[in-house]
Structure 1
Amino acid sequence: MANSSLWALLSITVAYFLVSRVSEYSSSKSYFITAGTIYIFITLFRILFHVFLYPNFFSPFKDLPTVKGGSLLNGQLETLLREPQGDPFRRWMNQIPNNGFIRYTHLFNKERLFVTSPEAMSDVLVRKSYDFVKQPFLKYSFGKVVGVGVLLAEGDDHKIQRKNLTPAFTFRHIKSLYPIFWSKAIETSEALHNILEENPYEVINIGAWLSRTALDIIGVAGIGLDFGAIKNPENELANKYASVFTVKDPLAKVIEYIAEFIDLRIVLALPLERNKRLATAAAYIRDFCRQVVRQKAENLQREKNEKGTTNGNDICAIAFESGAFSEEGMVDQMMTFLAAGHETTATSLQWAIYMLCKNPAMQRRLREEVLSVVSSPGTNEPPLNSIDSLPYLNAICQETLRFYPPLPISIRQAVRNTTILNRFIPAGTLVLTSAWASNHSTELWGADADVFNPDRWIGPGKANTGGAESNYAFLTFLNGPRNCIGMGFAKGEFLSVLAVLVGRFEFELEYPDCDVKIEDSITNGPEGGLKVRMKVLGVS
């Protein structure tokens, strides 16, 4: 909508003309009342136009396949609020005939474009990726917790950050971090073993353990600091992240939509529990990261002065070595590593264990494969040359990431006039891709797209594709220059932790006959956490 101040100025101008020149057409011959009346009339007309007339008669997208039904005023808002993120898009993608676009509306019938074909996704994610930026609301709210690092940076700033961080995420460097992944997985297995020795029937919320494990891993591998979250269930840093990522928040979606119409500063200043929790967590995490960055800089400088060089192998040390980041820039990167680098992997590991519980034959098959190369998963010697080559372990990892992508949707905003599939897209248009939808597309994966089938990843040429022909069938890590820089890190961590736990324990759901629901939070984990019973196997 046009700037409100311009409409107010127009109202005042017209009121002045009416009162001074044709007062019989003014309200009580009062400038104030006349201007107010005109402004109210203009506002009502603008609402009528943008909510009802524009989307139905004037929108450049009115000819696109559009989701049917919904509210006359708020389109598909109720569906989007009621269902877990991604579910509506998966259904629409498979059920609504389209040629690369599906249009839907939500609050006040504001339009969004859901791109569905590989060609359309290629335009958004690869060929014109910098024409589309993350929503301002995401940057200003979520960015408070994850920092404006490589995840949220845009344009040239993103290119510079990505270039200077890439050496820390090469295949060779990630492989050098496997001993960290393995040792932290063992530390977790030892802690769980001790619990089960005292009470073999203890019900374990495995999600909480996996989150703390992943936080410790990113701590050591990312910044060279052991947070001790595995040993300490009351770890303050872990609790702050849990308060943001795992707390169900019915208002989150509503606030996101309202932020499209109201100044972000006003939205984030509202006295809501969500805003208070976010502000508290953000302040603690940023202050914590700032202290660590300063200490890290001092340690690296001391080492350089004493030895003439630094031997830091963690991601933070490599970023420091590039010289491309200021202190606050390093704080942002660290916040990004900690947030994006632990909760998403922990969520994926929960779903892997859930599916292994629901499919005992898969669990036995995976365990046999792991034990064929790791006779004692409780040792501190990871089989670096074996874990990556285990086909069924890789298949379970890939199929879990396909079936339960931790970040189900990605919303971009056109920052300039551009095109998708040669169709004009005006600046400001909201464009959405959905890993939840693409990863379950029957067109891209076949009739069994909604079946959890690890074997689709086994066979010549299938280990990295699952048999899908399109690069856009698997969007868990996105694609193109904005794909997840930590993909190799996440997979290596996933493989190591799952191998250790499955090799040492047998898992069963607390209620085996019940299906776990999806928690509609940032990362779409199991509702209430995944509660399991664990049996220690006859290996040490």
Structure 2
Amino acid sequence: MEDFLWKILCSCGVFLVVWLLAPAARSLWHAWRFRCFYAKQGIPGPPFRLIVGNIPEIHKLFNSVPKFETSFHAATKFRVIPDLATFQQTYGRISVHELGSTTRILVADTELVKQVLMSRSSSYIKADLSRQILRAVVGRGVVVTDGDFWRQQRKILNPAFKLAYLKGLMRHMSGAGEDLARKWSSRETTRIDAHREMAALTLDVITRASFGATIGGTNTGYAAFECLDRLLSTGLLYLNSYKRLIPGYSFLPTRENLHLRRSEQYVNTLLRDIIRNRWAEKTRNPDENGKPVYDLLDMMLEAVENKSPTMTMDQLLDECKTIFFAGHSTTALTLTWSLIMLSVHQEWQQRARDEIFAAHKRCGGRDLSAEDLSSLEVVGWIIHEVLRLFPPVSTVTRQCHQAHEIGEFSILPGTLVLCPLALLLQSKEDWGDDVSEFNPERFINKKTKDISEFVAFGAGPRMCLGMNFALIEARLLLSLLLAKFSFTLAEDYVHAPGSPVSMKPVYGAPLLVKKL
């Protein structure tokens, strides 16, 4: 009897071990098979390693990022994506490596990236790892979903980002900018942290424009921004660390995980209050003529009232988080780096200011319209150059779900394809030998401008919904601030443009603001 029980226990133990190890063995086999498949096509890469893949090399490259830069012309790509920048430098425009047992193809070629994001987009879905990281920030928002659900969500949100509708939101942008200008005008010279101020400003804009509400001032807005940024940056660090090899690590009650849950709860509470107040009021925001107008929250609440299958109250909260985070982070970083670079390059600050003053003179002192803003060429060049040097999104990741070809290369289902936007924006082949220098005049060429927008905001079916919103907001707010103030670097400014988790200045952006 004891022998029989012992045999049963041994059999169960063997079954359990096989059950646990079989998926791991299958993953390792797929990783080896994929590496052989791509090697036969002549795609190079670092040496193949079982289980950990190339995490050791990647980890070493991330740790080698300097704490600060001694030159304003340092290439940000080696700070933000040091692994991909090094792989491109070593292996060329296309290479293969593994993150654990996940095979990743790095495509550092503009034409091939266009195929991935545009002509071959139907062969790709959002990568599981990217989805996992973003879900911690925005739940099941439109940037995470795929298929019919994504198409229905996009259909609900699309009208709010049409250019005609966005023109009506400019009053919210101006209102938030004027409030900030009044605060700075209380003294002749004011010391600011530009990143903190711009994050709070763009949060104020997005909540006024999309939710018809304010968020309680600079401290509350920046706290919410920090919570969302912490959720995203922690996820990115997890992606390239050994922690991802530990099953269920994100559910463990570590100090880091508990802090992240508190951050998520803070943002959820803030947005729930905004939604609850609007739901209770059942009123529409008036325009300058007193007529009620719909904002984005109105459209989503209407979808909830009509019992849309894809817009429940929980989904509405996730979409609000998506807008709250994605709707301001790009512009906040763009404005931050614009003010920093204009503080360094005073001649460009003055050229932009002269152009703005001339536009106001032509308009007879009235507020600049969308058409007036689009005519500000120098301001536009500066914004595009900042987007090129300091791209808010460094890499777009797609997961292949059906076999196909890009260029002369065949791609297997299950492969992650990395489109390194920061590398494309800082390629000498596309941008010339002065690629690391701040030179807005390179955007006199419209083709160059189009490439910049394509890389900064994506292309194809999943092109960023908020591109027009972000560009109008950046032009308007930068023009408003330059018309009222001059900017210089504070003596204790330390140039550290981005890190492996974010493009924000590592040590803040201390600037001196002087009233004109």
Would the TM-score normalized by the shorter structure come out above 0.5?
Answer: yes
Partner residue, 1:527? 506
Q: CA 1:321/1:37 → structure 2, altered by over 3 Å: closer, same or farther?
A: closer
Match status 1:407 vs 2:393? yes
State the secondary structure of the residue aligned to 2:455. Answer: coil
Counterpart Cα distance in 1 of 2:234 and 2:276: 38
Q: CA deviation at 1:512?
A: 7.6
Q: Partners in 1 of 2:313 and 2:349 — Cα distance?
A: 46
Amino acid at match of 1:530: A
Kept in 2, the 8 Å contact 1:374–1:383? The answer is no
- Map Cα deviations across residues 80-127 of structure 1 (whole Å, 9 max, x no partner): 5334333443454456334xx321234x46421112233432332123
1:285 to 264, 267, 274: 267
**Any stretches of 5+ residues in structure 1 without a counterpart?**
1-18, 21-28, 305-309
Is structure 2 residue 234 aligned with structure 1 residue 234? Answer: no
- Whether the 8 Å contact between 1:130 and 1:154 is mirrored in structure 2 is no
Say which of 40, 59, 69 aligns to 2:36.
59
Larger Rg, first or second structure (1 or 2): 1
SS at match of 2:125: strand
1:314 and 2:307 aligned? no
Q: CA deviation at 1:513?
A: 8.1
What one-letter code is carried by the residue in structure 2 that aligns with 1:354? Answer: I
Partner residue of 1:86 out of 81, 85, 102: 81
| SS state at 2:213 partner | coil
**Aligned match of 1:492:** 472
From 205, 210, 216, give the equivalent of 2:193.
205
- The one-letter amino acid of 2:294's match is N
C-alpha distance after superposition, 1:157-196 (max 9, x if no partner): 11122122211111111122122212211211211222x3
Aligned equivalents of 1:511, 1:71: Cα separation in 2: 47
1:317–1:500: structure 2 CA closer, same or farther, 3 Å change rule?
Answer: same
Q: Which amino acid aligns with 1:313?
A: Y
Aligned equivalent of 2:69: none
Give yes or no for contact 1:441–1:473 (8 Å, CA) kept in 2.
Answer: no
Question: Is the CA contact 2:58–2:240 (under 8 Å) kept in the aligned structure 1?
Answer: no
Matched, 1:536 2:512: no
Aligned residue identity for 2:418: L
TM-score, L = length of structure 1: 0.78
Q: Which has the higher helix share?
A: 2
CA positional deviation for 1:383: 4.4
The answer on 1:104 being equivalent to 2:88 is no
Farther off after superposition, 150-159 or 381-390: 381-390
Instruction: Report the secondary structure of 2:178's partner residue.
Output: helix
CA distance 1:42–1:343, change in 2 (3 Å)? closer
Structure 2: segments with no counterpart, 5+ residues:
66-78, 286-290
Structure 1 residue 257: deviation in Å? 5.1
Alpha-carbon shift at residue 285 of structure 1 (Å): 2.2
**Percent of aligned pairs sharing the same letter:** 23
Question: Matches of 1:346 and 1:268 in 2, distance apart?
Answer: 29
Partner SS, residue 524 of structure 1: strand
Paired AA for residue 61 in structure 1? Y
Corresponding letter in the other structure for 1:533: L
| 8 Å contact from structure 2 (residues 399, 417) kept in 1 | yes
- Equivalent residue, structure 1, for 2:74: none
Task: Answer 1 or 2: higher relative contact order, Cα 8 Å, separation at least 6.
Answer: 2
Aligned-pair CA distance for 1:491: 0.7
Q: Check whether the contact 1:181–1:217 (CA below 8 A) recurs between aligned residues.
A: yes
In the alignment, structure 1 residue 455 sits paired with structure 2 residue 437 = no
Q: Give secondary structure in 2 for the equivalent of 1:65.
A: coil
Shift of the alpha carbon at 1:362? Answer: 1.1
Q: Aligned letter for 2:321? A: M
**Shift of residue 290, structure 1, vs aligned partner:** 3.2
How far 1:281 sits from its partner (Å)? 2.1
The answer to which of 409-418 and 252-261 deviates more is: 252-261
Distance change >3 Å, CA 456–CA 313, structure 1 → 2: farther
Alignment match, 1:373: 359
Q: Structure 1 residues 355, 79: closer, same or farther in 2, change over 3 A?
A: farther
Alignment map for 1:3-14 (pairs within 5 Å): none
1:163 to 155, 167, 177: 155
> Contact 2:381 / 2:443 at 8 angstroms: preserved in 1?
yes
Q: Which position in structure 1 is the counterpart of 2:68? A: none
Q: Call closer, same or farther: CA 1:438–1:57 in 2, change over 3 Å.
A: closer
Shift of 1:338: 0.6
Amino acid at match of 2:500: D
Task: Tell me the residue number matched to 1:173.
Answer: 165
Deviations 1:51-89 (A, max 9, x none): 699549963222443344798954232245334333443
Residue pair 1:143, 1:152 contacting (<8 A) in 2 also: yes
Superposition deviation, residue 36 in structure 1? 5.2
Select the residue among 448, 459, 479 that pairs with 1:479.
459
Q: 1:186 maps to what in 2?
A: 178
Cross-structure match for 2:379? 393
Paired residue for 2:73? none
**Counterpart of 2:266 in structure 1: which amino acid?**
Y
The one-letter amino acid paired with 1:155 is G
Shift of 1:516: 3.0
- More divergent stretch after superposition (115-124 vs 61-70): 61-70
Rounded Cα–Cα distance in structure 1 between residues aligned with 2:222 and 2:216: 10
Q: Compared with structure 1, are the counterparts of its residues 144 and 30 closer, same or farther at alpha carbon in structure 2 (3 Å cutoff)?
A: same
3-state DSSP of counterpart to 2:39 = coil
Give the deviation of 1:423 after TM superposition: 4.2
What residue identity is the alignment partner of 1:314? D
* Contact preservation (8 Å) 2:284, 2:293: no
The 5 A counterparts of 1:403-442 are 403-421=389-407, 423-442=409-428
Q: Deviations over 1:25-64 (max 9, x none)?
A: xxxx956457757987998999799669954996322244
